[in-house]
Every structure is written in structure tokens, then in C-alpha cells.
Amino acid sequence: MLEPQRTGEGRGVLHLFLRVDHAAVPSLPPGAGKDVADVLERWSERTQLHVFSVLGHKADVMLMAIDADLTLLRTLQTEVQASLAAPALTLTWSYLSLTEGSEYTQSPDEYRAYLTDEGVEGDDLDRRVAQFAERMEKYTDDKLHPQMPAWELACFYPMSHRRSGDDNWYSLDFAERRRLMHDHGRSGRAYTGRILQLVSGSTGLDEWEWGVTLFAHDLADVKDIVYTMRYDEASARYAEFGDFVIGLRRSPADLVAEVGLERTT
């Protein structure tokens, strides 16, 4: 067994995008489709694995795995690529990122100062600050150690902050960046219950600075939230986006059938 390679904070997030070569499927050995389905079933019990059939030409399969042990993520990748279906299954793109907390959240001390300015004092002040600290601890833990839901749809896209002329995110002071992200987050909160978002950091790990995965029940909600948030200044002035990939959640057995990895003869 290889030694675990664990992240110091947060969890590794690995997106794998695979394409099926349908011309090669008839030459696969018997049971090849079941073999790759069995690999995915086994890994679904070992780590947090989300399996999607992809709409469009960018891929046929999207796998999203979340784990603190990077060695496990690499082993999952190996086993998928080494399955009996491998001759007809090509890894065309991948994305690596880490879950992270937000640098823009308010600290308990900042919240205390805000409440004090509002005239809150005494036991009421202490109680409200303690409640706030508890909420923020859970918020940060959920971001660092997410357990994403089994919702029907997923949308993945990478993004970076723009660094161009007057629209250079990294030349803004912290207070302005916090203001912009607060406004951006307020837009997103309007979709609570319809969209659940995981933003994982990839600066120094992949081509973009963040990987964004949106989980949804309705594809229209994905379209609406991305459109709505494009008008926020943080996005309109300071964001660049990569390709968008839409996946339909499937069980491993249903995935294999839907993408045509089962031999018909």
C-alpha cells in the first residue's frame, strides 16, 4: 500500500472527464462495462465520489472525487483507466483543486465591534457573538470538509480573477475585495435550496484559480444563477471563465449503459 498523502487543510477535489470511443466498444472483452461500473461502485463506498453522464461533446463521463488523501484520488484515477473498458475510455481532461475557507468572512472580533457600534452590550453582546462564532465555525467546516448532496445535476467550470489594467483584482485593497465578494454572495444566496455550490481553490494546482461545481435539481436554475451573478461587479469586471460542463447524476450501472460501454454482442 502506498503511504497516504494528506492535505494540510481541506480536501483534494479531483474532476475527471472521460470520452467513450464507440468504435472500440465491440472489441472490449466480455464484462468490460460491468468491470468499470464495479470500480465506481467500490470507490463510492471508499471515498466521496459523484458520477455523472455528460451532455454535449466535451466528455461522456464526469467523475468528481473528494478526499483528504491525494493517494486515494490517484488510485481511483488509475483503476478507472486500467479497467477492462480502458481501450474504449479516454481521459480527455481533468481538474485538481482543494477545498478552502473564505478569507472574506467576518471574524468574531469584527462582529463584536459591529454590534458594539450598534449599541449592543453586556450579556446580550456576548451571547450574540458566541452564536455568531458557532455559525462561522460550522460554515468554515462545511467549506473545508464538504459532503455534497446527491442532487440530479452538476455544472462544473473553472474561473480566475482578472488581472488586466484597471480591472486587476489583485491590485484592490482587502476592504474593497471583501465588499465585492459580499455583494456577490448575496446574489447567490437567493438560490438557497435550488443551487448548492462548491468553490475549490486551484492556484498553483491547475490552469485556473478556482474550480466551481454547482449542484442543482433543475437545469434552468443553473442558467439563472450564472446569468444573475454575471451582473455583480465582482464577476462583470473581475472574472474570467473556462468551459462549462453539465452532468446528469447516474448510478455506475446506469452510466455504463447510457454512454454505450456495454457490448451488445
What's the whole-model pTM score? 0.94
Catalytically active residues are: 157
* Residue 92 in grid coordinates: 480527455
Instruction: Please report the pLDDT score of residue 2 as a whole number.
Output: 83
Contacts of 62 (CB under 8 A, 6+ apart): 15, 16, 17, 18, 51, 52, 53, 54, 154, 156, 245, 247
Domains of the chain: 12-100 (3.30.70.1030)
Q: What is the pLDDT of residue 264?
A: 64
∠ CA(169), CA(199), CA(252), 5° rounding? 150
Question: What are the angstrom distances between the C-alpha of 224 and each of 195, 213, 232, 236?
Answer: 10, 15, 13, 15
> For residue 52, what pLDDT is reported?
98
Mean pLDDT per 10-residue section of the chain, whose length is 265 residues: 89 98 96 97 97 98 98 98 97 98 91 92 94 94 95 98 95 95 92 96 97 98 96 96 98 97 75
| Residue 170 contacts residue 176 (beta carbons within 8 Å) | no
Please give the C-alpha separations between residue 126 and each of 106, 107, 137, in angstroms, as whole numbers. 16, 14, 16
